[in-house]
């Protein structure tokens, strides 16, 4: 498992506790620990890359449920069997 996946799993496994501490904030996670919290994703990336290379951490909005890490895409394209 990649380090980025491990960091995301850390978020999922600790989401309830992280919500208690950082609800509504955006955190940077590296090495399965929070290395910073910020008001928005832009600030999180801008500040974290000052000390950590891009791709070595994840940035995640902290909130209950799956909304912060789930996206749905709708398309009007249909696929026909070949």
pLDDT band, residue 69 (cuts 50/70/90): confident
Query: Is the distance from CB of 7 to CB of 57 less than 8 angstroms?
Result: yes
| Nearest C-alpha neighbor of 21 from the set 40, 10, 36, 9 | 36
In this structure, what is the dihedral angle of CA atoms 19, 22, 26, 30, given to the nearest 10 degrees?
-90
pLDDT of 82 > 90? The answer is no
What global pTM score does this model have?
Answer: 0.84
Contact criterion met (CB below 8 Å) for 38 and 58: no
The tens digit of pLDDT for each residue in 32-56 reads: 999 999 999 999 999 999 999 999 9
């Amino acid at each position: 498992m990649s380090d980025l996946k491990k960091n995301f799993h850390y978020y999922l496994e600790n989401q309830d506790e992280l919500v208690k501490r950082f609800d509504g904030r955006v955190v940077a996670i590296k090495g399965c620990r929070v290395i910073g919290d910020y008001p928005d994703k832009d600030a999180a990336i801008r500040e974290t890359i000052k000390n950590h290379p891009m791709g070595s951490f994840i940035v995640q909005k902290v909130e209950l449920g799956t909304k912060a890490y789930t996206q749905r895409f709708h398309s009007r394209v249909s696929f026909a069997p070949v």
